[in-house]
Chains A and B, each alone.
Chain A
Amino acid sequence: MNNIIVQKFGGTSVATDANRRLAAGKIIAAKKSGKQPVVVVSAIGRRGEPYATDTLADEMRKIDPAFPPHPHEMDIMMACGEIISTAIMASTLQSMGHPAIALSGGQAGIITDSEHGNARILAIHPHAIRNALELGLIPVVCGFQGVTKFNDENSSGSLTTLGRGGSDTTASALGAALNATAVEIYTDVDGVKTADPDMVANARTLEVCTYEEVAEIAHQGAKVVHPRAAEIAMDYGIPLWVKSTFTDHPGTEIVAESRAPQSLYQRITGVTHTGKLAFIRLEIENEEHKPAVEQEVYRLMARAGVNTFLTSFSPAALSFAVNRENYPTARDLLDGMVVPVATDPNNRPATYLYIFKFSEGLDLAYRNQRPLLLSLEESGLVHVVDVPGTAHENCTVVSVIANKHRLVPGVMIAVFEALTTAGIEILQMADSDMSISALVPENDASRAVRLLHDTFGLGSPAVP
């Protein structure tokens, strides 16, 4: 009978010899209970520590800051972190009397596409893992990496990395490929929390979550398990657990909604916050021409690779958020942009030129372009219309994760009332089937999370 369990240990869990021995203890306990553990490890530690993925990537970038490293070489460098970690963890297990074998992603049979730095798993051929298990060895597999097919037309047999959440993704995908009985994600917290415990002291550990809830929590900013991993577990119906390497807390079990207790069907799961965003508002007063102007804005952002969120349009305005790192690009592209809108050729003016203007100091291109349009305007053939733009540069999204809240009136009002009564400005709201989000000034984010956590009574009971 298949009794395979995949256990994944993150960077903190393998950061020191003491931590690795605690992690090894979890692996050995699983083996002693009759399970066949397959271990996945991340690179050791976080940025600044010598073998952390970010540290290795920084070394490559330092070679010539003006010359970004090629993604092929970058992947080879970044993959070293997991290779080192795997070799050390396998050796730690061996030193504790439990035969183990370290396997790279390629050796473990993980085949990906050729998108270096953000590859997707195409197939897994886990022969080496199965052979190791048959020999009584504990396979310790590098997370976050794979190889391209040897007949890949772009990049034959190259080492690739999976991007953000790569090790969680490796664990879930191996769980699916091996038909594992469970995938356990070990981290430095007891499980999935109702809020970031660094922000909310009485954040509670959830006993059970649905895949949908945990994917939503992860997408909305919690870093417990990556949404890609949750999606794989959901698609393949693999029980997923989030546990702590450092305690014996039972952790959080993540299950399909059909297997979840009824109390989970409609509930407030937690409060999250995510994103360093900028919120842009453009005043486009001509309602008839507005769709054409808006479409040019979408096109411009798309061409520059700038993703827009929280889009909203009223009869006289278009507003949207962008990641703050993209804000200078978005603003510079919009400043001075001219969108022509043709009307009836028999009319005068036959064309409207909409020109975007940010507030003073951010309107360099506008100030250069605008005088050039004067002669056209004077000819009577065109009419030039300013599109004033404003931006709120420092905002973030605070979200209440609420399964099926659209069937439960009152969640929206509770969010709005809690925040506005506390004097927190809501710049925009958004809702999906699983969450209600508010865009708020970043310096109010912690207060907003705590307020909402209290409003929905999510915390642990106070200890007397």
Chain B
Amino acid sequence: MSVATHGVAAKHVSFERDRGVYRITVTDGLAHVVVKVSKESDRQSQVLSIFRRLADAHIPVFLVKLHRAAVTFAIEAEKIPDVENCISDLNLGLVSSPDVALISIIASSMRELSGILVSIADSLQRAGVRLIAVGDSHNSVQCLVDGSRIDDAVCELKETFGLNDEIDGIEQVRTTTGNE
């Protein structure tokens, strides 16, 4: 089964940005962290303690997701030991996955584009890349994926959205965290 959403690419128009994907960026050198929390009433205070300690240790986190029995987030990979240190005495299970990368698929009017997520998920599946976490905003879908497979993932996404480095205004930018 497939859906006719393959390639919601932006066209070039004057004045207005057309609806569609016009850029893919990559941020590598990241890690994904899963911290297990209680399902019971103290879950909230546990999450609060985790965030408090991360903030006190000046560790920026992003792609935060709240789950029933866990809180997950992304960090710069080099901060893994700091994260482990600052929440170790909370005695919560912590699993960190280093070498992940964030692919941002950037579009105008992203929220008018139904089917964008299925296009992305299909592309990553074709590339054999597992989606670790996903975030969305009005102009982007951010996908956290295995960093070692980033080239395959980007190649497939560029194919899906008809992006080409040689077209003016469309680019793939590789950055590292803190350098955006």
Q: Interface segment, B58-66, B149-157, B159-167?
A: B58-66
List of A residues within 8 angstroms of B59 by Cβ: 409
A394-435 vs B: 1/0 string, CB under 8 Å?
000000000000111110110011001000001111111111
Q: Does B96 contact A (CB under 8 A)?
A: no
B-contacting residues, A164-208, CB 8 Å? 169, 172-173, 176-177
* A121 with B3, Cβ < 8 A, contacts A294-B121, A317-B67, A413-B55 known: no
Q: Does B88 contact A (CB under 8 A)?
A: no
CB distance from B170 to the nearest CB of A (A): 14
Which chain B residue has the least Cβ–Cβ distance from A274? B138
A121:B14 contact, CB within 8 angstroms: yes
* A231 with B5, Cβ < 8 A, contacts A124-B15, A295-B121, A314-B70 known: no
User: How far is A432 from B64 in the complex, measured between Cα atoms in Å?
Assistant: 10
A429:B67 contact, CB within 8 angstroms: no
Residue from A176, A301, A427 in contact with B15 in the complex, judged by beta carbons closer than 8 Å:
A176
List of A residues within 8 angstroms of B180 by Cβ: 433
User: How far is A313 from B67 in the complex, measured between Cα atoms in Å?
Assistant: 8
Q: Does A219 contact B (CB under 8 A)?
A: yes
Q: Does B94 contact A (CB under 8 A)?
A: no
A173:B65 contact, CB within 8 angstroms: no
B14:A307 contact, CB within 8 angstroms: no
Q: Does B134 contact A (CB under 8 A)?
A: yes
Q: Does B114 contact A (CB under 8 A)?
A: yes
Which chain A residue has the least Cβ–Cβ distance from B64? A429
Q: Does B92 contact A (CB under 8 A)?
A: no
Q: Does A298 contact B (CB under 8 A)?
A: yes
Residue from B47, B68, B72, B112 in contact with A416 in the complex, judged by beta carbons closer than 8 Å:
B47
A173:B15 contact, CB within 8 angstroms: yes
B125:A291 contact, CB within 8 angstroms: yes
Q: Does A32 contact B (CB under 8 A)?
A: no
Tally of A-B Cβ pairs under 8 angstroms: 144
List of B residues within 8 angstroms of A295 by Cβ: 118, 121-122, 125
CB distance from A445 to the nearest CB of B (A): 18
Residue from B68, B117, B138 in contact with A311 in the complex, judged by beta carbons closer than 8 Å:
B117
A123:B115 contact, CB within 8 angstroms: no
Which of A113, A298, A313, A427 has most B Cβ within 10 Å? A298
User: How far is A430 from B137 in the complex, measured between Cα atoms in Å?
Assistant: 8
A235:B17 contact, CB within 8 angstroms: yes
List of B residues within 8 angstroms of A429 by Cβ: 64-66
Question: Chain B contact residues (Cβ within 8 angstroms of A): what range?
Answer: 35 or more
List of B residues within 8 angstroms of A304 by Cβ: 114
Which chain A residue has the least Cβ–Cβ distance from B111? A307
A413:B60 contact, CB within 8 angstroms: no
Q: Does A232 contact B (CB under 8 A)?
A: yes
List of B residues within 8 angstroms of A173 by Cβ: 15-16
List of B residues within 8 angstroms of A431 by Cβ: 62-64, 135
User: How far is A434 from B108 in the complex, measured between Cα atoms in Å?
Assistant: 16
Q: Does B174 contact A (CB under 8 A)?
A: no
User: How far is A191 from B69 in the complex, measured between Cα atoms in Å?
Assistant: 44
A428:B66 contact, CB within 8 angstroms: yes
List of A residues within 8 angstroms of B122 by Cβ: 295
A292-324 vs B: 1/0 string, CB under 8 Å?
001110110111111111111110010000000
Q: List 10 A-B contacts (CB under 8 A).
A: A113-B13, A121-B13, A235-B17, A299-B3, A302-B117, A307-B114, A416-B47, A417-B48, A429-B65, A430-B136
Query: Known pairs A408-B60, A409-B55. 17 more at Cβ < 8 A?
Result: A120-B13, A121-B15, A232-B15, A291-B131, A298-B117, A298-B118, A303-B115, A409-B57, A413-B54, A413-B55, A417-B48, A420-B47, A428-B65, A428-B66, A429-B64, A429-B66, A432-B142
Binding site for B on A (CB under 8 A): 113, 120-124, 169, 172-173, 176-177, 216, 219-220, 227-228, 231-232, 235-236, 291, 294-296, 298-299, 301-314, 317, 406-410, 412-413, 416-417, 420, 426-435
Top-10 shortest CB links A-B:
A302-B115, A432-B137, A219-B138, A413-B51, A314-B67, A298-B118, A410-B55, A173-B15, A413-B55, A312-B65
Binding site for A on B (CB under 8 A): 1, 3, 5, 13-19, 44, 47-48, 51-52, 54-55, 57-70, 72, 108, 111-115, 117-118, 121-122, 125, 130-131, 133-140, 142, 178, 180
